[in-house]
Amino acid sequence: MILQFVKGSWKSGELSSVKALKPSVEIKQLGIGFVTWHPKRPYEEHKAAAEKAWEHCKEIVQSDNYDLVVLDEINNAARFGLISVDEILNLIQTRPERLHLVLTGRGADPRIIEAADLVTEMKMVKHPFQKGEWARKGLDF
């Protein structure tokens, strides 16, 4: 199960990729877009969407129906103040023992890094976005 916290309703590359993995892998877009990229949406709307997503996430994790749950962009949601780091830590500690949680997104809080079993950092060196280019069809979505 992949739960996307920040990405909005647009078609992302992940959606296309997961189609090939159905029914073994499910993906749900729960956010309304990047807070910093979509300032036309008030922060309160992002916060409300994140809180609703978080409630859904807790149900999914505690259901014990999955071996793996990916919380896509959850670190960014925490960094923007949309989800409490303490709540994320509580979820990590109370998840079913067999469940593997993968938390993605830049700028993971040091407490989340400490609680994790494995941490990988991907670093952007160069990206077309730096030149003002938006996502490209066939590559980014």
How far is residue 94's CA from residue 62's CA, in Å, rounded to a whole number? 8
How far is residue 102's CA from residue 105's CA, in Å, rounded to a whole number? 10
**How many C-beta atoms lie closer than 10 Å to residue 71's C-beta?**
28
pLDDT band at 6 (very low <50, low <70, confident <90, very high): low
Which amino acid is present at 37?
A: W
Structure tokens at 57: 């996430």
> What average pLDDT does range 87-111 have in this prediction?
95
Report percent pLDDT > 70 for the chain: 82
How far is residue 88's CA from residue 74's CA, in Å, rounded to a whole number? 9
Q: What is the CATH number of the domain that holds 21?
A: 3.40.50.300
Domain assignment present for residue 104? The answer is: yes
Report percent pLDDT > 90 for the chain: 40
Supply the DSSP string of the chain, one letter for each residue.
Answer: -EEESS--SSPPHHHHHHHTTTTT--EEE---S-TTT-TTS-HHHHHHHHHHHHHHHHHHHHTT--SEEEEETHHHHHHTTSS-HHHHHHHHHHS-TT-EEEE-SSS--HHHHHH-S-------S--GGGGT----TTTT-
Domain assignment present for residue 137? The answer is: no
Q: What is the pLDDT of residues 39-76, one digit of tens each?
A: 567 788 888 888 998 999 999 999 999 999 999 889 98
How many domains does the chain divide into? 1
Question: What's the alpha-carbon Rg for the chain, to the nearest Å?
Answer: 15
Domain assignment present for residue 44? The answer is: yes
| pLDDT attached to residue 94 | 96
Q: Could you tell me the residue range of the domain that residue 107 belongs to?
A: 2-131
| pLDDT attached to residue 141 | 59
Domain assignment present for residue 124? The answer is: yes
Domain assignment present for residue 138? The answer is: no
How far is residue 48's CA from residue 91's CA, in Å, rounded to a whole number? 19
Domain assignment present for residue 140? The answer is: no
Domain assignment present for residue 139? The answer is: no
Domain assignment present for residue 94? The answer is: yes
Q: Which residue has the higher pLDDT, 125 or 10?
A: 125
